[in-house]
Structure 1
Amino acid sequence: MSVLRSLQGFVSGWPVAPLVVVACLGLTVGCSARSKYAAYDPGTAADDVAEDTQAFNQKLALAAAQDEGDGQYRVGPEDLLEITLFDIESREGIPQVIATRVSSAGFVTLPHVGKVQADGLTPIEFEHRLKDVYRRFIHDPQITIFIREYHSYQVAVVGYVVKPDVLQLRGRQTMLEALAMAGGLNEDAGRTVRLLRETDDQIVTEIIDLEALTRLGNLGLNPTLLPNDVINVPRAGVFYVEGAVLKPGAFPLLQPTTVSQAIATAGGSDSDMANERGMTVYRKLADGQREPMRIDVAGIRKGEVEDMRIEEDDVIVIPISGPKWMLDRVLTAVRVGINYRP
């Protein structure tokens, strides 16, 4: 059954005579009676989305500023380190200075001890690790670390951001910082991010909920970036609400949303007109057809039924009650007649 045919069924099954009466009353009232179901203004909707996007980008920027981490640079692959070994392999009291580049696997190779993991450590942490390793050869080793050359690396920010680009980064940078460099989300963006990362010759995708990050302050959802990471911001989906609601139309699916939340987004149902028992969600199937799913509104309100999450391209229909609509038209006509002065 098509959605259009379902919508036509809003007023199906009413007695013919009352419909004729209502039609006549409608002619009597004339065009001065404005419908309470005027279409949702696309311009207003666009303005609302723009304001919401701007406010959300400000939340992301604030979260990025709050995520200070430990405030220290962490050694990474291809960094050039200058390691000074005091009293180790020194001649005539002259410390030995070793310049070594961190391998792509994150190791440096040093005299006597061989490979030592450096990747992910701050210079101080790496000093402590080297001291622990060299204690096998000297009681109290003195070692200093200096980063002579920071290796730059690339990450890509693609999708629905203001300025998609390949970014050249140095040092510790996070996903939120990269999004800020790309100008933030644009007005068509969803509120999830897909972080694609190559691990062990495989591409691993991590889905990050930006709403949870900003709402809950969960900065654990703000990963530190690695070379060749790809940050993909998908487009927000769209859902539709039609029938006896105050603002029928299409709305962006910016975050996980239930049927009740979707109805609230459309201004809520009109208690004077809505036939909530007939509320239906029409969901598109793989073959393009739509499957009708009746919603138990009373059960949801009582907490007896789960408030179903909607999906992209869902159409939510709240039928207009025939008797309520008729009564409303009659009362409108009566009010207009009373106020009419020839």
Structure 2
Amino acid sequence: MSLTRVLRLLKAAILAALCLAICTAFCLPAAAQYTGTVPTSAPGLNVHLPITTDPAVLFPPQRELTLMPGDLLKISVYGVDPEYTDSERVDLDGSIRMNLGGVIHVAGLSVKDAEAAMSERFEKAEIFHSAQVSIELTEAPQHFATVVGEVKGTVPVLGPKRLLEIVAANGGIPATASTILRIDRVGQAEPIIVDIGNDPARTMQANIPIFTGDVITVGRVGQYYVLGAVVKPGVGQLSGSVPVTAVEAVSAAGGMTFPAKGDEARLIRNVGGQRTIINLQLRQIQDGKIADVVLQSDDILLVPSSGLKKFLATQSSGTVIALVVAMATILR
């Protein structure tokens, strides 16, 4: 074997050992707690959804069930001889075609109003006099609320329902889910945002009525990564009800090592679909001089050593992002 080939193999072995050392150093877990919201005006940081507080929006008057296309109706007429029964499905145009009485539009009407409309039709057509019409909704394929995101499913809504009942019917809120829920409602321009939290009083306040057609989105809180000059680099699990700040994440990772450059930390965050570098001054944050940062899902916090700081200073932002993301990928 030639000397050149031996040198190449030796170089490859050294690189492989270095990669293994990096993997071993970074594959340790981390966890953290949070003690309160930290406001800041820095762009891209601590962005949160505004919680809906208007009682008129959160607790509107209870709505009567209204008929919709696809509903199957059992129509009975009492007080006539012989008694009349019919079974009709509401067409896409919102009407039904009765054997007696012809076509009548019922979509958007309550059951009570539809009964009155049919009785009036029978009276005008001189089919039945003073007819007592009863409608039974036997199939209601469109009367449901939908849950998407970390919790998935549909729940029939044929009477009064509450948010927690709908979520519980689909398995409840998992540990990976956010406690801040979004409800999109037909006819309402802005979504409803509620925080069911981990406080029973807050949870009950957020247990709002749910109506047919509502779409409930349960978001994912995900993970964050702490890399570089900390005692225990690794992955931290975000909690739906207990946010984590940058300083707390570093503390959960055992703190910074010597000679960490805390005021030269980088936060790699997905902003608008693109990875972005946000410079953090951890020492300044620890001293209470500037606001802390609440971490988001897939945030990567890099605390450089003096040597790594010098290396990063010579690289483009694209290269820094690629390097840090590659380091975090090892931990997945």
Given the two structures, how large is their TM-score scaled by the length of structure 1?
Answer: 0.46
Give 1 or 2 for the bigger CA radius of gyration.
1
Given the two structures, how large is their TM-score scaled by the length of structure 2?
Answer: 0.47
The structure in which a higher percent of residues are helix is: 1
